[in-house]
Amino acid sequence: MAIAEPQTPHRATVDLGSQRRTRITGAILLGLALFVVLVFGDAPGDATFRLSRPRDAWVLPNLVVPAQPFIYIAAALVAFLGARQFLRGGGRWTTLSLGIGLGLFVMAFLVWATADKAFSLTGMLQATMVRAVPIALGGLAATMCERVAVVNIAVEGILLAGAFTGALMGSVIGGWGGLIAAVAVGGLFGFTLAALVVTYRMDQIIAGVVINLFVLGLTSYVSSQVFAEMRHLNNAPVFRSWKIPILGDIPVIGPMLFNQNIFVYGALMMVAISTYYLFHTASGLRARAVGEHPRAADTLGIDVYWTRYVHVTIGGMIAGFGGAWFTLGTVGRFDENMTGGRGFIGLAAMIFGRWHPVGALMAALVFGFTDSLQQKLALLQTPIPSEFLAMAPYIATIIVVAGLIGRARPPAADGKPYVKE
C-alpha cells in the first residue's frame, strides 16, 4: 500500500491561498455576469462600430452588433467562467478566466454604451496607443531599475521633470532640443537616485518620494510664478504624427501603430531593444544576476555598484523621454502636476507585466484603453457620470496591485542595499 506523502505547512498554506483566490475569482465573475444582465440587459437596437474613416485608403464596413443578444451571451459566458472556477478552477486557469471575464465585461459595456449609436473603434484604439506611451515608458524605466534591484518610486517625479524640461527648453531652442534636454534631465535624476540608494544606501522608497516631492514643488513654483508672467517660455512646438507608407494604410492596425508621432515609435523601439538586451545578451544576463543575487554576481567579477548606476541612470533617461510626451507630444505647454499619477500607474504596469518590458507594454495598453475609454464614452453621453469614467484607469491599477490578476515574483534582491565585503 502506498503511503501518502505528508503535506508541509508551506505547501498547505499555498494550497489554501490558491483555493481562496479561486473562490474569490469565481464570485467576482458571477457578480459581473449578474451586473451585466441587470444594468446592461435593456440595451435597445444595434451598436455600430466604425472600423475605418472616410480618408482611409482601405475602407472596411461598419461592425454592427445586436446589443441585447450580445450582452446576454456575454453575461452567460462570464457566468460559465465563474461557475467553472468553483467546480474546476485553480492554477493558471484562474488568471485566464478573470482576464477573459473582464474582457467580456468591457465588450458588453461598450455595446451597451453604443446601442443605437455609432462609435469609432479605430479612433479609440489609436487613442489607446497614444495614452499608453507614458505608462509604458514609466513601466520600462522601472523595469530597468528593478532588474538590478533598485526600486524606482521616483518615476512619477522624473516624468514630471521631463514634461517641464521639454516645455521650457522646447520653447527656447525647439522641439528636438527640448526632447534631448528632457532625456538628459531624466538621466540626471536617475543618477541622483542611484547615488542616494547605491552609494549612500538611503532607503529606496524614501529616496524616490523625496525626488517626487522636490520635482513637484519646483515645477509648481515655476509654473505659477514664472510661466504665468513669461508665457513665451511655455509654448513649445508639438511633434506631429507621421504615417509610415503602406503600413499606415492597414485598416484598424495601421492608425494604431503606424500613424503616430515619435513618442509612440520611440516607446515601441525601446521596448524591443530593452527586451533583447535583458534576455538575449551577456550584459543583460549580468544585470539580471545583480538583481537576483548580487553577492554571487560580485564573486564572478561583476561590478554591482557600476551596474546599478548605469541601469538606474538609463531608466531615468527613459522616464525623461516619457515625460516629454506630455508637452512635446500633446499640448505643447506645461501645467502643474500634469502627469496625473501616470508614473505610479507605470509601476503597476511593471508589476502586471512581471518585470518584463513587453509585459509592461501590454499592461500599459490595458491602462491606456481604460483612459481613452472614459474620454470616448463621454462623447456618447452615457448615463454614467464623467467623474466615474475618469476613475477607470485608477480602478484598474488597484485591481492589478491587489493581485487579482495574478501575483508575480520580483527580482530576489529587489529593494535591498548591497554592501561590498
- Give the Cβ contact number of residue 41 at 10 Å: 15
Count of all residues that appear for the chain in the document: 421
Residue 217, Cα to own-chain centre: how many angstroms?
25
- Counting other chains too, the contacts that 396-401 makes at CB distance below 8 Å and 24 or more residues apart are 396/366, 396/367, 396/370, 397/344, 397/345, 397/348, 397/367, 400/348, 400/349, 400/351, 400/352, 400/363, 401/348, 401/351
Give the 3-state secondary structure of 354-402. Answer: CCCHHHHHHHHHHHHHHHHHHHHHHHCCCCCCHHHHHCHHHHHHHHHHC
Architecture of domain 123-401: Orthogonal Bundle (1.10)
pLDDT in tens, the chain (421 residues): 444 445 554 444 445 556 777 888 888 899 999 999 998 988 888 999 988 877 777 888 889 999 999 999 999 999 999 998 888 765 567 777 888 888 899 899 889 988 888 888 888 889 899 999 999 999 999 999 999 999 999 999 999 999 999 999 999 999 999 999 999 999 999 999 999 999 999 999 999 999 999 999 999 999 989 888 898 999 999 999 999 988 888 888 888 999 999 999 999 999 999 999 999 999 999 999 999 999 999 999 999 999 999 999 999 999 999 999 999 999 999 999 999 899 999 998 998 888 999 999 998 998 888 888 777 777 777 777 766 767 766 776 676 666 555 566 889 999 999 888 7
Record the pTM.
Answer: 0.90
Angle between helix 342-352 and 155-173 (nearest 10): 130
What pLDDT sits at residue 117? 85
Residue 29, Cα to own-chain centre: how many angstroms?
24
> What is the rounded CA–CA span in Å between residue 143 and residue 312?
10
> What is the rounded CA–CA span in Å between residue 353 and residue 360?
4
> What is the rounded CA–CA span in Å between residue 408 and residue 71?
33
What pLDDT sits at residue 381? 72
Placement of cell 544576476 in the chain:
289
How does pLDDT run across 290-311, given as a tens digit for each residue? 999 999 999 999 999 999 999 9
The DSSP output letter for 50 is E
Residues 346/363, Cβ–Cβ less than 8 Å: no
Residue from 374, 344, 402 nearest 134 by CA: 344
Q: How is residue 260 written as a grid cell?
A: 503616430
For the chain, the domains span 15-116, 123-401
> What is the rounded CA–CA span in Å between residue 153 and residue 196?
13
